[in-house]
Amino acid sequence: MLYAAVRRRSAALGLSAAGYAALTAAWLYNSVVYEDVPTPWPATAAIVIGALGPWLGGTLHSFLIRKRVFGLASQPSTLNEHALAVAQHRRTLRQQARELAERDPAMARELRIGRPDLPRQYDDGGLVDLNRAPAPIIASLPGMTLALADQVVRVREQVGGFVSAEDVSAAASLPPHLTADLAEYGIFLS
């Protein structure tokens, strides 16, 4: 509680910490004083309250203030909200990976951005490098088939690589509706 009081700069939480400390001190004092002699009922009550008060009260109080103290994000209340949060997170990861690749293409290749077919530790949010990934990986993109992916690989070998989703769609004669998904999930490392 004292940590929470300092972190939130709260006098009320400071008083709570002092109260829990006072109850603990009362418990310790009465436990020592009445260790070998019969304990009167007020001292017994002070011992019980001094032991249980900080323990139960402090625990409940900690749970009540934890979001204010630690700023914990609220959990999604439905499965749909959770799915939306995950999708947004994956989109953010893709954007961060693209920015890294733009700043430092060599680092992007070393991290194997866009190469889910290779062992890696960097989470790029599901990007696929259309200039290097094999056909089965390209076929895993939304709307792609293995035949279309093979076509992309054949054209890639002929032209030496692509620079954008529009370039892939035009060069490989892909259906126009695939361009948006290629732009979302594709990356074009040279």
DSSP state at residue 57: I
Tell me which residue range forms the domain holding 115: 93-187
In a domain, 152, yes or no: yes
In a domain, 86, yes or no: no
Residue 64 predicted with pLDDT over 90: no
Determine how many CB atoms are found less than 10 A away from the CB of residue 179. 19
Question: How does pLDDT run across 137-165, given as a tens digit for each residue?
Answer: 999 999 999 999 999 999 999 999 999 99
Query: H or E segment at 61?
Result: helix 58-70
Same domain assignment for residues 21 and 61: yes
Classify the phi-psi angles of 69: left when phi > 0, otherwise alpha if psi is within -120 to 50, otherwise beta: alpha
In a domain, 30, yes or no: yes
Query: What is residue 84's three-state secondary structure?
Result: helix
Q: Residue 18 and residue 26: Cα distance in Å, rounded? A: 12
Residue 74 predicted with pLDDT over 60: no
Same domain assignment for residues 21 and 107: no
Q: Residue 132 and residue 156: Cα distance in Å, rounded? A: 9
Question: How does pLDDT run across 91-132, given as a tens digit for each residue?
Answer: 999 999 999 999 999 999 999 999 999 999 999 999 999 999
Domain boundary among 16, 36, 70: 70
Between 13-27, 38-52, 63-77, 104-118, the lowest mean confidence (pLDDT) is in 63-77
Q: How many domains does the chain have?
A: 2
Same domain assignment for residues 116 and 47: no
Query: What is residue 187's three-state secondary structure?
Result: strand
In a domain, 13, yes or no: yes
pLDDT category, 66, cuts 50, 70, 90? confident
